[in-house]
Chain A
């Protein structure tokens, strides 16, 4: 094993250096001695023998060196020598080193910050076994691709599918817990029995649901989440077997599940307080094949099965079901995507944009430092020429310079990592919900390793050109006093770097500018309602109040009366139906009653549904366009009426007048007359609404809430209150009034609507903040870069300017000359930058709102800004050029 032997001898050589050298020394002296004796024996005199032997041997030190070069440990030693030399050199020019290290710290620090975000968001492992085999399953139809699935369909899929190891279903649930201390509304899930088998999660203790418990009529059981168990049950060891009252029914606790089970987007509430069997959920509509209301599928692929195969298999099954049940399933398909894609798919574009921007910043930093090195190289040509003359080959010098660069880079990088840790946390504290899943920034080993690799790579990148250019001086010229060796090449390289910097900076500025305009547009966008002073919260009806549809309707009215009695409340309404901007959707299929019933279910229209109080439109500030709003006469005895939004009016009725016409809502089996048209509300969000598939909206008075949908109302009811009084002051009164209605009534998730709307823009604002910071860093770096290069050029041309001024040239000429040089660089950079920006800006399209990626106004403004700033940066060195004392310049050197 010659390799192993070499390694061992090398290590021995590293540590036994002195002894080895002594031995070799003795050996060589012995060699010399023997040679002398031989020559004496051959007849030479002693002095002649000694001299002859010495000449033959050469220099003992040289021989020792050559012997020492054998073996890899000598390379290590010479590298270490270079490192120490580099440290000395860097210490000798502190101002250069400081600027370079700071620049690198900015560049590498920014990258580290983004790495930590990428790591947290995209690379964060989903905490289940083999997470890449997990998939989410949604329904699709003409109206969308991420619809809920219906329970009967799910049961058939479970039976018929061939590609899933286990297929489960779940939906969010809220449970009003009473009888165990303070009443509380828990957020949890209803899951099919095999749910935890999909995730391969074991309960902390106890067990999970059995198949026979997952059906109607079975004894109510519940699995508690670890968080709730610790919070409300003091981590009581004997919790299994005890009874907990949920929604008025006693449930037996059969187990406790660990904290980590959370499936929804990590930024939202965890929904892991308690879990009940999905099969025991009993509203009639739930068993209706045509109704899908919040249930989702989760499955684990069989080993070796690909996503494509699963999709094909499910498409076949969906097709079969559509033929078997055309009424419910015509046009209904299946959408399967990996769980990871489901959770983080939306933020990937933002993260990619951040990565690209920060890469640009690093390139700019590299260009700057490269320029600094090139400038510095002119002062070191003597040093390199001397070393070359003494026998260092070019590779050795380049290696030493690269080590200098990498050393600078690592030092800068260390500073940068520190800056990143501090900076990222502060930015995230400003926008805690901007990036789901990131509330805590952790710099872990992975990120540090990435940053270190980046630092080394950066060092080589920016150090290569200066090193190679510095190491090839024309020896003769360089050793002369005035070193002008390689000047033209260096100047070209410097100009190239500056032009590149400016171009990259322009691109970042354009991106930031576009984001500013996009965000301004969004902030001023009209959500369709007036969120100011509107407070909302959820609550559930207790089983007593939800026991019959009539009771539900009465409860709504009673709650509104109670809320109206709260001091400071201007208007109030209960709403059954998803809250705008909340991410939830309640939609129903419908058609025009005066047209023939569409036979094909996929020909039916769908609209967002809201059952509201008489004061809803006033509370939410939704404008009434035509007709009338709801009054106290629109109750269960009156004619069924509804209000539609402009979108529905336009889509369904085109140029006809909707008022007086009737709409048939499929699920209600009822014709409803349209009495009013209101403004459209951007339910899905300021940006998402424009491209959402279901946008039309209709409202019915909740006093006319249809019986069939009333039971679902027991789950979650939204209450909105318009009041200028602060939330702090309002809540106690609200609780008091609610308690007087029903002591078990609890408030969940009280929020101000203007906060909700503002928070929906958190992603954009975060992007803008980060992008703005990067653009600002880039601008500063570019300005410093141009300033540095122009200063350097002025210094190099000091004699020339001195001569010109001495010969009578007006100072203005010199000024214009220098400014012209700087301006030419900036212009070239800007042109390249604009060209690149136009080419690449299309990628930003998804992140922008209301402004085109190649918006000329933004590009023009940004270019002017950049040119102005760079002109300013050139002014100082230009002025210095005009104040050159000709005598001093001519005398110099």
Chain B
């Protein structure tokens, strides 16, 4: 996902949701989020910095996450992001909407074999 393509809002929104979910599990810094996303999706989603950081800035601007500088395990400084209450609410809502959508799509795809 290149940063400057006119990403469809679906794709961009999905990334935001995935980042929120990742941070719901535990606060993380940028690289950690990228790695986690790749791991959990078993390599399907490979987020590069050009997409990740604009998304993080947007989520920060909208008050869904907050960032703070902390010292890492390696004794270096990194910016960790945490989910806010608002972020949690939004994640819940987005997750529910997504599930509704995918159920509907799945139904249509199944139906096309016999009922359409």
Contact = CB atoms under 8 A, between A and B. Distances in A.
Interface in B1-55: 3-4, 29-32, 35, 48-50, 53-54
A7 to B, nearest CB: 10
A9 B61 contact: yes
B3 A66 contact: yes
B49 A58 contact: yes
Nearest to A57: B49
A270 interface: no
Contacts of A34: 29, 31-32, 78
B57 A30 contact: no
Contact of B63 (A2, A26, A38): A2
Interface residues of B, number: 22
A680 B53 CA distance: 93
Nearest to A56: B48
Interface residues of A, number: 26
Interface string A18-38: 000001101110110111011
Contact of B49 (A31, A37, A71): A31
A286 to B, nearest CB: 80
B53 A28 contact: yes
B107 interface: no
A28 B54 CA distance: 12
A28 B49 contact: yes
A23 B53 CA distance: 12
B88 interface: no
A70 B35 contact: no
A63 interface: yes
A62 interface: yes
A67 B57 contact: yes
A28 B30 CA distance: 9
Nearest to A64: B53
Contact of B4 (A38, A57, A66, A71): A66
Given A56-B48, A57-B48, A27 B79 contact: yes
Interface centre among B54, B57, B77 (most CB of A within 10 A): B57
A6 interface: yes
A70 B49 contact: no
A5 B76 contact: no
B50 A62 contact: yes
B58 interface: yes
B97 interface: no
B63 A70 contact: no
Contacts of B29: 27, 30-31, 34
A26 B61 contact: no
A765 to B, nearest CB: 63
A2 B35 CA distance: 29
B90 to A, nearest CB: 10
Interface string A66-105: 1101110000000000000000000000000000000000
Contacts of A37: 74
B54 A6 contact: no
A31 B30 contact: yes
A27 B32 CA distance: 12
Contacts of A63: 3, 49-50, 53
A66 B77 contact: no
Contact of A58 (B48, B74, B76, B78): B48
Contacts of A2: 62-63
5 contacts: A6-B61, A27-B30, A28-B49, A34-B78, A66-B53
A-B pairs, 4 with minimum CB distance: A34-B31, A66-B3, A70-B57, A66-B54
Given A38-B31, A38-B35, A56-B49, 14 more contacts: A2-B62, A6-B62, A27-B53, A27-B78, A28-B49, A30-B29, A30-B79, A31-B31, A34-B78, A35-B31, A58-B48, A63-B3, A66-B54, A70-B57
